[in-house]
Amino acid sequence: MIRAGIIGGAGYTAGELVRLLLNHDGAELAFVHSSSNAGNPLTAVHAGLLGETEMCFASDYDLSSIDVLFICSAHGESRRFIESTELPPHLKIIDLAQDFRDESDGFVYGLPELNRERIAGAGRVANPGCFATAIQLALLPLAAEGLLDDEIHITAITGSTGAGVKPGATTHFSWRASNISAYKSFEHQHLIEISRNIRLLQNNFDQDINFVPLRGDFTRGIFASVYTACPLSQDEADKLYRSFYADAAFTFVSPANIDMKQVVNTNKALLHVEKHGGKLHVVSAIDNLLKGASGQAVQNMNLMFGLGERTGLKLKASAF
């Protein structure tokens, strides 16, 4: 059994990670640390776990007793933790913040559809951002073939859980319900990792990536609409995408248009490709807390320990 620990256990992603690990046939959850909730039952924060566990949040932990550590702390805290902590040589680390997505300090960027073999041999993995996952999956096949020769236009909408568990002016129910708004237009932080990885596949890409993120009036999920100029026909585009993701454990190309409910509560990513004149339109959908965060983290853990990628992640969408 893989013994796992979690640092920063009070947020939405940690709650989903606990749920997945408790039901994972190859893993055992050793501790969930939270300095603000130490001694309290996990269910006092993650009420959906009632009946699943009687564990309490830990005030301290023994890193030598576990095989893998998931870091679910706020952005910036992971680097401080790594730099200030003596880490056992055997310990594998999966960071869910953005601190090491540039692959610094020995981390591998944890998008399996891009880096499966490198992740399998890694000791440290940086989990991708949620928007970055959905958008890159829409673009990777084109970049791999050197077909990105024009500006890329992206509009993507996310649920309120993407903003984290701490309530704020744009997350509380009375503002978010029956509402929609744009934010961080053309300057969202995930553009950094998107641009970096696109250029790793297509090093001559020098066009703008125009990204407008939207806040949705739902709790979880990301739905991205991506289009760019493309010389491929519809048949050629379908063949390219199906071939690129033929061996992917969770990314599927749908012949029919897709909707977000098909992926919510799963680790799946669904894509649909349509040619319109000289442009290719790609629709991408994921659950921001699973394929966009904790589910992908478990997928990476499976790869790092030689397990099947789908282990512990055979989840059904709540399609209605």
* Alpha-carbon gap, residue 279 to 256, rounded angstroms: 18
SS3 for 5? strand
Residue owning tokens 């965060």? 293
Q: Which of 23, 89, 74 is nearest to 53 (CA)?
A: 23
* Alpha-carbon gap, residue 124 to 109, rounded angstroms: 9
For residue 124, the Cα-to-chain-centroid distance in whole angstroms is: 16
Q: C-alpha dihedral over 197, 138, 152, 257, to 10 degrees?
A: -170
Contact of 284 with 131, CB cutoff 8 Å: no
Bin 265: left if φ > 0, else alpha if -120 < ψ < 50, else beta.
Answer: left
| Candidates 56, 72, 130, 230; catalytic one | 130
* Alpha-carbon gap, residue 145 to 137, rounded angstroms: 14
* Alpha-carbon gap, residue 167 to 48, rounded angstroms: 19
* Alpha-carbon gap, residue 300 to 297, rounded angstroms: 5
* Alpha-carbon gap, residue 59 to 36, rounded angstroms: 9
Q: Which of 35, 192, 204 is nearest to 104 (CA)?
A: 192
Q: Which of 318, 310, 249 is nearest to 20 (CA)?
A: 310
Residue owning tokens 């680790």? 267
User: DSSP letter at 127?
Assistant: P
Q: Which helix (H) or strand (E) holds 294?
A: helix 294-304
Whether 130 is a known active-site residue: answer: yes
Give the number of other Cβ atoms within 10 Å of residue 104's Cβ: 10
Catalytic residues: 130
